[in-house]
Amino acid sequence: MPNTPDDDTSAADPSLPAAVPSGGLSREPAAGVGGTLGGGLDSGLGAGLTATLGQGSGLTAQGVHRSFGSVRALAGVDLEAHAGAVTALVGPNGSGKTTLLLIFAGLLVPDAGQVRVGGVDPVTHHQAARARTGWMPDVFGTWDSLTAREVLLTFAAAYRLTRERAEARTTELLETVHLTEFADLPASVLSRGQKQRLGLARALVHDPDVLLLDEPASGLDPRSRVDLRILLRLLASQGKTVLVSSHVLTELDEMADDAIFLSGGRTVPAGTVATAQAAPRTWRLRALSLAALVGWLTTVGATWLPDDERDPAARGTGPGDPPDGPGGVLLQVDGEAGAATLLRDAVAAGVPITSLAPVGGALEQAYLALEEERR
Ligand SMILES: Nc1ncnc2c1ncn2[C@@H]1O[C@H](COP(=O)(O)OP(=O)(O)OP(=O)(O)O)[C@@H](O)[C@H]1O
Ligand SMILES: [Mg+2]
């Protein structure tokens, strides 16, 4: 559910760009996003962009508070998201992610604290901040009467791109998000995932230095999710600051350089996150014979749990009574070195191992460990 900004500094429609100051976008973008997503990584784009960002790039928040009536949505947020990196914003429902992104996007004003977008305060220098910010809300509304191309041209015009530049950029972005064949259809007929992709193109139309993406992968099919990942990595490699919220932690794992955890409107201190990340992780060990696997684990005195999720047949199976045939168990392993030792010993003992892998990614493990701590 998108937030409804409740103060008069907010635009009526959070999707709409503020008018940008004359000249604010007059510089030509240093680089486009490249052709289609699949082959974009080696396109050598953006070489000069990192240099142009210089000091004051990235995103910072210090002591940010924001309440809605009696609801304290943000109760002390401190963070730094660096240029040239993808930073994941992670937290349970209602932890304040969208509220924080809206503040960075200049669509909400904090009650207390400071934020900077590329060194600019979006509260006092609203237009300058928005000129360098691309904002993709969790749900992207479109006008029924406009085609996908017209939506992008309209936003490009609002950001004061020249007509020529707007047309080139629109064509390029429609290709990037694989909507070229839908370019001249009313945007209202686009599917949910296609609308998300149009929303992404819209956020990129003025080639912003900072990207704020609120659950951009939601509704995307697997191919589009891969494309999104590649695109965000490409944009980061061009020196952009990318802050992305998502609940799909395995995906964030693959694309994010850093992660910021929000809990109850506060940033979880880095030390706490590091401890959670260092905790032993759960691994899944599978063998051609569950009986042989369990027999060996019992012999060596290892503690394990049945892998109910993967093998419902093994549900409730005690260590002494494993079903025959392939199956697996879950166990705590201390890092990759611990996994290597476990695998070596199992194979040496003649257990027909088929796989050993961590359950979930590092972010998911840290998230679950932090959740556990909060209980
Ligand atoms: N406009 C609003 N009016 C009143 N309360 C609000 C408003 N926007 C957000 N809140 C409240 O602030 C808290 C944080 O909401 P927010 O949308 O920022 O969470 P979130 O982390 O984005 O959650 P989700 O993962 O579900 O998207 C919630 O308790 C929510 O109910
Ligand atoms: Mg949200």
Q: Which ligand is nearest to the CA of 214?
A: 2
- Closest residue by Cα to residue 330 from 362, 284, 280: 284
Query: What pTM does this model have?
Result: 0.78
Across the strands, what pairs with 172? none
Closest atom of ligand 1 to CA, residue 99: 18
- Supply the residue whose CA is at minimum distance from atom 30 of ligand 1: 94
What is the structure's pLDDT at 312?
52
If you search the block for the tokens 């910010």, which residue do you land on? Answer: 133
Q: How far is the CA of 263 from the centre of ligand 1 (A)?
A: 12
Q: How far is the CA of 360 from the centre of ligand 1 (A)?
A: 27
Segment 231-289, tens digit of pLDDT: 999 999 999 999 999 988 888 888 899 999 999 999 998 877 777 777 788 899 999 99
What is the structure's pLDDT at 219?
86
What is the structure's pLDDT at 273?
79
| Neighbour tally for 52: CB within 10 Å | 12
Own/partner pairs, 22-29, CB within 8 angstroms, 24+ separation: 22/160, 24/127, 24/128, 24/131, 24/160, 25/131, 25/159, 25/160, 25/161, 25/206, 26/160, 28/165, 29/169, 29/206, 29/207
- In degrees and rounded to multiples of 5, residue 154 shows phi and psi of -65, -45
Closest atom of ligand 1 to CA, residue 101: 18
Q: How far is the CA of 96 from the centre of ligand 1 (A)?
A: 6
Whether domain 40-268 has CATH 3.40.50.300: the reply is yes
What is the structure's pLDDT at 308?
67
What is the structure's pLDDT at 309?
62
- CB-count burial class (<10 Å; 0-12, 13-18, 19+) for 126: middle
Q: Which ligand is nearest to the CA of 100?
A: 1
Closest atom of ligand 1 to CA, residue 5: 1
Task: Tell me the chain's radius of gyration from C-alpha atoms.
Answer: 24
Report CA torsion sign: 221, 227, 230, 234.
negative
Residue 370 C-alpha from the chain's centroid: 18
What is the structure's pLDDT at 279?
77
Sheet strands side by side (includes 59-68): 71-81, 59-68, 112-117
Segment 148-169, tens digit of pLDDT: 999 999 999 999 999 999 999 9
- Supply the residue whose CA is at minimum distance from atom 4 of ligand 1: 68
Cβ–Cβ < 8 Å for 140, 203? no
Closest atom of ligand 1 to CA, residue 69: 4
Q: Ligand 1 pocket check: which of 95, 247, 367 to mutate, most ligand atoms within 8 Å of Cβ?
A: 95
Q: How far is the CA of 13 from the centre of ligand 2 (A)?
A: 17
Question: Which residues of the chain are under the pLDDT cut of 50?
Answer: 1-55, 315-317
Ligand 1 site, residue 299, Cβ cutoff 6 A: no
15: region left, alpha or beta (phi > 0 left; psi from -120 to 50 alpha): alpha
Ligand 1 site, residue 93, Cβ cutoff 6 A: yes
Structural domain spans, the chain: 40-268, 280-374
- First and final C-alpha spacing in the chain: 26
What is the structure's pLDDT at 135?
95
Q: How far is the CA of 70 from the centre of ligand 2 (A)?
A: 19
If you search the block for the tokens 């992207």, which residue do you land on? Answer: 140
